[in-house]
Structure 1
Amino acid sequence: MNNFIRLTKYLKPYWWRITIAALASTAYGAMDGAFAYFIAPVLNKIFVAKDLLIFSLMPFLVIILFAIRGLCRFANEFFMRSAAQLAVNDIRKEVFSNCLRLDLRFFQRHQTGSLISRVFNDVYVMQDGAGNIITSVFRDGISVISLLVVIFYRDWQLAIISFLAIPLTIYPAQLIGKKIKRVSKIGQERSGDITSILQEAFSGIKVIKAFGLEKRQIDKFAKSNEDFYHYFRKGIKYSSLSAPVIEIITSFGIAGVIFFGGKSVMSGRMTAADFFSFVTAMALVYSPFKKLLSTYNDSQRCLGAAERVFEIIDAQPEIVDPPHATALPHTQGIVEFKNVSFKYADNTILEDINLVAQKGQIIALIGPSGAGKTTLVSLIARFFDVSDGVVTLDSHDVRSIRHSDLVSQLSLVDQETILFNDTIANNIRYGRPDASLDKVEQAARAAYAHDFISAMPEGYETNIGDRGVRLSGGQRQRICIARALLKDAPVLILDEATSALDTESEKMVQEALENLMKNRTTFVIAHRLSTVLHADTILVMDQGRIVERGTHKQLVAQNGLYTRLYEMQFKD
């Protein structure tokens, strides 16, 4: 109920649509009661009083009545469902917005496909359910009320007999509804598994093709698809079971009405026209009543999806600005780690890290995979918060700096070339959306990307496709470097920035990076030692610790881990 009340709050901005729908549904429902009520006097006029005028007008009145009824139904469904759709659009936007505000730990705990499923599939179930629920409550609810008035007006004793069986339907309806909610929620989770498999398969299609893993992925998808069908089938079973169970129970009331009503007509206590009016109203009332019970099942599916959606909306980021965050629009770029340790769950990733990077210095981080190099630079950008110690930027704890100011001081070129399905110009502008095309071109020239961009059919306005699929690996990397060049931040982080480049491209980009590094604090993560030989300080990391530090010559002379790594790469 709390989730349903919360869902209805999203409808508040669209109250005028709901008002029109409510008025239309009131008219629609009242017509059912009016039809059942007036059928008795009309039948008496035609068949008892032989009124030919009423008889002649009857076909036209029926057509007009149903035309008005149809118009009311259209207005009810259109305005109610459009209001529900607008509310769900707001929910979907809020889910997506909150997802982007959450920190990296959240995305490490949740599969990408599962999140996509919640934003799309679960919200769609909410959309479909909310529209059906509110439409049915207004339209069918008012129909039931108006018809009940007619039924009790005609014969309250028969009315009580006809509805004696109704309370018996409550328990099975609740029982079936709970089962529908449970299997619907699990079914949505299985739908998320399917989305995850699709996302992984399509993004990794090159690896699948290269290793001939098509059958393995197909089998994996088939199993997940079968699991989804298993729970979807259960939902169908319970939904299909609901109506027959209700009909069987209500048939006792109908049988009682036929028996006792027939006796009343035969004894003269009730006219045949009044009994026909009563039976008509009773027959009409069962239809919207069954729809209301079916709506209860829809509400359980809707609420099962709503729970999963609201879990995302209610998720709170761990990385937030403090109440009185420091505004720091400009910095020199002096970065310091003081006794920094970092743990993820129970695993220690970094331990007792101490270093100072002055303005304009190049700090190189090398070491075996899993040594903690990427995690270390992630702490500067506050992708994670330290477990112990402090990371400072210009003597300010990064946790105290307003996050928007902090990220404005950083440029990142990651080992993953993350590009978006947009034009080349807009991909370069991601750091500075308001940059002119001239500035974009200057950055591209500095990254040695201008020549291949100019050779493309639409130049800088060429759309590069999903994740830059229309570019080579080296071209994608140079676009990312151009993006960092354009942002022009005082702190630069290069995480394997040249890993995807061939030798010729790497030479060009290294020259561009050397110009970019001037007067900037630069952290360079590299496996190829040839890219860091001229760094001011090289930090050798192993198992989350800095085990060696110094210049290239100093480290070679120490004959330690750096020397072994150097000899392995340059032994020829």
Structure 2
Amino acid sequence: MSSAVSQRHVLLRTLDYLRPYWGLLVVSALCSMVVGAMDGAFAYLVEPVLKKIFAGKDTGIFLLVPIGIIALFVLRGICRFTYDTTIKLAGQKAIQDIRNDLYGSTIRKDMAFYNRQATGELMSRMTNDIGMMQDGMANVVCGLFRDLISFLSLLVVIFYRNWQLAILCFIVLPVTIYPAQLIGKKIKNAARRSLDVMGGIGSILQETFSGIKVIKAFGLETRVIERFRTENLAFLNQYKRFIKYESLAMPVSEMIISLGIAAVVYLGGSQVLSGRMSASELFSFIAAMIMLFNPVKKLQGSWNVVQRSSGGAERVFQLMDAQRLIVDKDATVELARVSGRVELHEVSFSYGDEPVLQNISLSVEPGRMVALVGPSGGGKSTLAALLMRFYDVSSGAILLDGHDLRAISLESLNRQFALVDQETTLFNDTIANNIRYGWTDASDAEVEAAARAAFAHDFILELPEGYATNIGDRGVRLSGGQRQRICIARAILKNAPILILDEATSALDTESEKMVQQALDNLMLNRTTFVIAHRLSTVLHADTIVVLEKGRIVECGSHADLVEGSGLYSRLHALQFSDQPVKGDAASA
């Protein structure tokens, strides 16, 4: 797709968001037509009014002119206010729809997409890029009818007054088009590059504010400040180019237009001196011509703003149109609550060219507990992600109650799983609402029952507003154990038949771990459970322990069977439960 076609597509797609608000656009267009037509009327009336006042000595018209000016400008002001408010309201509603669509499409992207995108970059596109689109939409639509009608009405006046001078004047206008296009393209490119750098600044802000504890602990303030200054300087350098090109556009246009004005003044003055044209006619023509160049400059300014905003619009639509890898097929199965039987047949998975899992085969009966253990990087969390279909397998198949995950609708598949992660993801909301994320329609009594089962009810009642207490960003007002129990209550409320615990107690102290483990025991009851753990003490009672190393299953069995063997699990167990040094590759695990 060529650059011109791409830009036209972006502009048309942006304006298409205004279609639902055509009523506001019609009102704005009618009012802007009145305002634009008044410019032509003012220029036209200059000549007859001046002739009657000064040549005809008509004092009556002289007295009415001030009143007429006031009345016309009152009407003009009312129309201008109306078209400004209606068009800006329509533009704001359209931007709201764009922002909603962008957020909705981004949230629905799969995990592979989020692995490629920095959080700060996504935030920048949701804010800075859409803000730039908003500026462009307001300018192009607000100025379109008003300046175009004003231009056409004034054009009629100057041709009516003196078509020869009008042609001379009109010849200058096309000369301004090429510089405007050239400068506009540079404005667009500079704006897009500026937004790219601003995305980097957003990423730095997100990383530093979320990791402020580490920055303080390691004394990294100077380092992160210098990193931010470097990125901010890069933004300034890019933005200076944008300022240069945008500031250059109007002076270049005015210099070219001045040639036409000078020619008209000279030739028009010659006609007045030779008696072929009256002074009042020339004055009327010059007034119309000067007024004509004003909407031309405004239209060019709007064009430059459109160029700038199209850089943001391209980035917004690029993000909106990014293809999802995990989608429903044409014919999918809608599952009710499953029994929880999970089968993996020769499952392999790669991140790009990097193999992560190779030939994994496993069968899990409903209600059983399976522990996934092994050295870091062995593929445990990736296997759990494949079970929830955050990614699709590279080869092989995963079956749930005999159905291939790829044949199950994503919505019904999601209902079958509950996740308790080592990263306790809580939201800046009340405790009740954080638990209710597990089931949005749950009653207060059901929320409380889930909290009791998670051993969270007692500490919740001790908080200032109980279940209505706002827990702050990421649950900062709670301890680690309290946050984890809220997450467990959320999973209990969801009541899914399959549970995935990913290092759910790894970051807790002994007392908190004991309380959380009791809550997990309630959660695991009568559910097929996959437990990812490094601490083997948490999986001793698992029905099956699967040992993963370098993406392969190297051992599988009960704790008693594996600990008596001489494999990796036995060495890991000895390393964690014995004071004696252990030789072999367990040390590196």
Q: TM-score, normalised by structure 2?
A: 0.96
* 2:215 aligned partner: 208
Kept after mapping to 2: 8 A contact 1:414/1:494? yes
Aligned: 1:503 with 2:503: no
Q: Percent identity?
A: 58
Letter in 2 for 1:302: S
Give the corresponding residue for 2:245: 238
**Residue 3 of structure 2 aligns with which residue?**
none
Give 3-state SS (helix, strand or coil) of 1:420's partner: coil
Residue 403 of structure 1 aligns with which residue?
410
Alignment of 1:163-312 (within 5 A): 163-312=170-319
Cα deviation digits, residues 361-397 of structure 1 (max 9, x gap): 1100111111100000111110000000000110111
After superposition, the C-alpha distances for 1:30-71 in whole angstroms (9 at most, x for unaligned) are 000000001110011111111111111111111111111122
Residue number in structure 1 paired with 2:540: 533
1:518 Cα deviation after fit: 2.3
| Alignment RMSD | 1.0
How much has 1:178 moved relative to structure 2? Answer: 0.6
Unpaired runs of at least 5, structure 1: none
Q: Do the aligned residues in 2 keep the contact of 1:541 with 1:548 (CA within 8 Å)?
A: yes
2:101 is aligned with 1:131: no
Residue 425 of structure 1, CA deviation: 0.6
Question: For the Cα contact (< 8 Å) 2:488–2:519, is it kept in 1?
Answer: no
1:233 deviates by 1.2
Distance across 2 between alignment mates of 1:431 and 1:511: 20
Q: Take 1:206 and 1:380, find their aligned partners in 2: how far apart are those partners?
A: 33
Give the alignment partner of residue 340 of structure 1, picking from 338, 347, 360: 347
Structure 2 counterpart of 1:359, from 366, 369, 375: 366
**1:286-309 per-position Cα deviation (integer Å, ceiling 9, x unaligned):** 111111111111111111111111
User: What corresponds to 1:474 in structure 2?
Assistant: 481
Q: Aligned residue for 1:516? A: 523
SS at match of 1:492: strand
Q: Among 437, 441, 452, which residue is 2:459 paired with?
A: 452
> Normalized against structure 1, the TM-score is what?
0.99
Tell me how far apart the structure 2 counterparts of residues 125 and 504 of structure 1 sit (CA, whole Å).
Answer: 52
- What CA deviation, in whole Å up to 9, does each residue of 1:216-240 have, x standing for no partner? 1111111111111111111111010
Instruction: State the one-letter code of the partner of 1:143.
Output: S
Cross-structure match for 1:97:
104
Paired residues of 2:485 and 2:519 also in contact (CA < 8 A): no
> 2: CA distance between counterparts of 1:102 and 1:75?
41
- 2:584 corresponding residue in structure 1: none
Q: Whole-Å Cα distance in 2 between the matches of residues 512 and 296 of structure 1? A: 62
Query: Per-residue displacement from partner, 1:471-496 (whole Å, max 9, x unpaired)?
Result: 11111111101111111111000001
Q: What pairs up with 1:19-58 in 2 under 5 angstroms?
A: 19-58=26-65
Supply the distance in 1 between the matched residues of 2:283 and 2:436 (Cα, whole angstroms): 75
Kindly indicate whether the alpha-carbon contact (under 8 Å) linking 2:201 and 2:231 is maintained by their aligned counterparts in 1: yes
- In 2, Cα distance between equivalents of 1:75 and 1:513: 62
User: How far did 1:501 drift?
Assistant: 2.3
Q: Counterparts of 2:29 and 2:525 in 1: how far apart (Å)? A: 68
CA contact (8 A) 1:363 1:524 kept: yes
CA deviations on 1:420-442 (whole Å, 9 max, x unpaired) are 11110111111111111111112
Please give the alpha-carbon distance, in whole angstroms, between the structure 1 residues aligned to 2:570 and 2:135: 64
Give the secondary-structure state (helix, strand or coil) at the position aligned to 1:163. Answer: helix
Aligned residues: 572
Q: Deviations over 1:238-292 (max 9, x none)?
A: 0100111011111110110110000111111111111100000011111111111
Work out the CA distance in 1 between the residues paired with 2:49 and 2:503.
87
Give the Cα separation in 2 of the matches to 1:512 and 1:160: 86
Q: Which moved more, 1:498-507 or 1:55-64?
A: 498-507
CA shift, 1:167, in A, is 1.9
What is the rounded CA distance, in whole Å, between the counterparts of 2:82 and 2:327 in structure 1? 46
Please, which runs of 5 or more residues in structure 2 have no aligned partner? 1-7, 580-589
Could you tell me whether the CA contact under 8 Å between 1:496 and 1:527 is conserved in 2? yes
The answer as to whether partners of 2:484 and 2:516 remain within 8 angstroms in 1 is: no
Q: Which runs of 4+ in 1 moved over 2 A?
A: none
Specify the alignment match of 2:556 in structure 1: 549
In 1: Cα distance, 2:262 partner to 2:437 partner: 72
The residue number in structure 1 matching 2:397 is 390
SS at match of 2:545: strand
Separation in 2 of the partners of 1:517 and 1:295?
62
Q: Distance in 2 between matches of 1:411 and 1:403?
A: 14
